[in-house]
Amino acid sequence: MAQNRKKKKTIAKDIALERITYLFSAAGDAYPLDPMRSNRYASLARRIGMRYRVSIPSELKRKICKKCNSFLVPGSNCRVRLSDGSIIITCLNCGAIKRYPFCRN
């Protein structure tokens, strides 16, 4: 019985990850037409990840502002700068700053 429950959990996590990636692609498509809808998609993806304990992939996680949960699009509502070996992403809605290190070769 425990194996069946474990199998159901893994299936639920796989489905949750698929939903998260779909919501991010839908948010990217919907942003030019309706930015508020894309913000809603991003917050839904984040809630699905928390509910099913699925970590959002890092390339998708960088597209959400941690402070205001808005979908970030460089050049439109966020600023991206490279400085001293780090990527600095500034949300233009709330002013939150995120820094990610990168190594130069």
Neighbours of 83 (CB within 10 A): 8
pTM of the model: 0.86
Task: Read off the pLDDT of residues 37-46 as tens digits, 9 standing for 90 and up.
Answer: 999 999 999 9
The two three-digit tokens of residue 46, written as one number: 């984040």
Cα 6 to its chain centre, rounded Å, is 27
Has residue 28 got a pLDDT over 90?
A: yes
Neighbours of 93 (CB within 10 A): 15
What is the predicted pLDDT for the residue at 5?
77
Query: What is the mean predicted confidence (pLDDT) over 48-53?
Result: 95
pLDDT category at 59 given cuts 50, 70, 90 is very high
Is residue 50 classed as helix, strand or coil in its secondary structure? Answer: helix
Indicate the DSSP class of residue 95: -
Name the superfamily (CATH) of residues 2-101.
Answer: Immunoglobulin FC, subunit C (1.20.5.420)
Domain residues of the chain, as ranges?
2-101
